[in-house]
Structure 1
Amino acid sequence: MQESIENRQDSVPGGAAAPGTAIEERSITEKLETVLGNLPPDRVTLEEIRDLIGQDGLLLLSAFLTLVFLVPVSIPGVSTVFGAAILLIGISRLMGRNLWLPGRIARKTLPAENIRNAIRRGSRWLSSLEKISRPHRMSGFVTAPMADRINSLAMIAGAVLLMAPFGLVPFSNTLPALALLFLAIGLLQKDGFHILCGHLLNVATVVYFTVLVVGGGVAVRELFRRLAG
């Protein structure tokens, strides 16, 4: 598998030998297009995606993984696998270490064509966010003494919310995915406004899930009351 990854890396347009380094000079959307063009034709694992993006692309990988949840495409098991990967990215950032993926998550295969189509459609969100981002805006969200730790914790919280068992409920994946996308773009572009939006979307997700749980509890209690009465 490593050999096949290296072969795909050698075929990057422009003669780039290693996407993890050569794509650093391009825009975020151009980097994603390079990664998409080098995905295997049939099925893809997180391990392959990670190796294509490179060791320095954890935030790019986070943005990449959120795009699937911004379009109405259902791929079973994606929220758990991708959410777990983003969780590990957040933890690795918090601890200042390189990304490590457990074997079960790293080797989990997903249909490459479905992933490719969903990400190409969802990349419109990414392109829009990238165009309106302003480096060093509201810089306190990036440069404050505890900012990096708080932002890493926000990524961890967003990943946990993405993995919550509400997959069939509208917006249950979209809201945390948007939070994570804003956080990733904000950190990549050093744009505090995007980071603030990510934090606010995390809060909105918690409120939404609380309403779902409380509302569901009330509905179940009312149903039992009617059945008993």
Structure 2
Amino acid sequence: MHFSDTSAPLSETLSRAIDGIHGETVTLRNLMTAIGEQGLLVLCAIATLPFLIPVSIPGVSTVFGAAIVLLAVAITMNRLPWLPQRILDRPLETAKLLPALRKGVNFVSRLDAWVLPRMPMLSAGAFARFNGLVLIFAGLLLMAPFGLIPFSNTAPAVAILFLTMGMLQRDGLFILLGYLATILTVIYFSTLLYAAWRAGGALLS
């Protein structure tokens, strides 16, 4: 399976997919149909959009985070993805999801002007598989049960978005930004866990 890059701005591709969403609910299967042959990386990018604003939509991080992990596994192994039916067909409220998706596209459109092919070695060869592994890890971070804490979904979503944009446009700088955002997310989550541990210890004492 070949994961090709695209010369079209990512925000345009995402906008076309979102404009095809209709009805009171939408499923991941609907989104995959709307994307068509654009590729797994574009679907990963779409899955980050609801989290680019520091407001959590209940249930979305589980569905989209799991989808990103499974898609990233497919990208890493260079094969078609397998997604369970309960993830593909879980209905999500369009009224809540679409505004978040559109705000996410606005954020991506601001980044599009900065993305260009550079440092191609970071998107090919052994790095291509490593990038897939980082995507898997970032997807797991997105699924972490910190949804009510500000930026706990946004931080890993930004990491995933940077990685997917870099991989799609062969931009090594954005791939490096994805690595950095992933590291910062780990530091943020570690700080949260340490604070919770200290608070728990203080309560017990």
Match of 2:192 in 1: 212
Query: Which AA in structure 2 matches 1:182?
Result: F
Q: What's 2:3 paired with?
A: none
CA–CA distance in 1 between the matches of 2:177 and 2:19? 30
Aligned pairs for 1:101-120 within 5 A: 101-120=83-102
Equivalent in 10, 19, 24 of residue 28 of structure 1? 10
Q: CA separation in 2, counterparts of 1:41 and 1:73?
A: 23
Q: Which amino acid aligns with 2:45?
A: A
Find the aligned partners of 2:40 and 2:87 in 1 and give their Cα distance.
Answer: 16
Give the one of 99, 121, 126 matched to 1:140: 121
Question: Is residue 56–residue 147 contact of structure 2 (8 Å, CA) maintained in 1?
Answer: no
Q: Which residue matches 1:171?
A: 151
Identical-pair percentage:
44
Report the equivalent of 1:191. 171
**Which ranges of 4 or more aligned residues in structure 1 deviate by more than 4 Å?**
none
Q: Secondary structure at the match of 2:162?
A: helix
Structure 1 gaps of 5+ residues are 1-23
Of 106-115 and 183-192, deviating more is 106-115
What is the root-mean-square deviation in Å for CA atoms of aligned residues? 1.4
Structure 2 segments unaligned to the other structure (5+ residues): 1-5
Distance 2:9 2:23 in 1: 24
> 1:199-222: per-residue Cα shift (whole Å, max 9, x none)?
111111111111111111011101
Q: Distance in 1 between matches of 2:9 and 2:136?
A: 25
How has the CA–CA distance of structure 1 residues 201 and 25 changed in structure 2, closer, same or farther, with 3 Å as cutoff?
closer
Q: AA paired with 1:33? A: S
Q: Structure with the greater relative contact order (CA < 8 A, sep ≥ 6): 1 or 2? A: 2
107, 112, 116: which is aligned to 1:130?
112
Q: Which has the larger radius of gyration?
A: 1
CA distance in 2: counterparts of 1:41 and 1:179, whole angstroms: 30
Q: Which amino acid aligns with 1:59?
A: L
Give the equivalent residue in structure 1 for 2:82: 100
Question: Which residue in 2 is equivalent to 1:181?
Answer: 161
Q: In the superposition, relative to structure 1, how do residues 25 and 218 fare at CA in structure 2: closer, same or farther (>3 Å)?
A: closer
**Count of equivalent residues:** 200
TM-score (norm 2): 0.93
Q: What displacement does 1:73 show? A: 3.9
Alignment check: 8 A CA contact 1:73 1:118 kept: no
CA distance in 2, matches of 1:81, 1:102: 11
Distance of 1:198 and 1:26 partners within structure 2: 20
Equivalent residue in structure 1 for 2:36, among 50, 54, 66: 54
Using the alignment, how far apart are the partners of 1:85 and 1:78 within structure 2? 10
The equivalences for 1:39-78 within 5 A come to 39-78=21-60
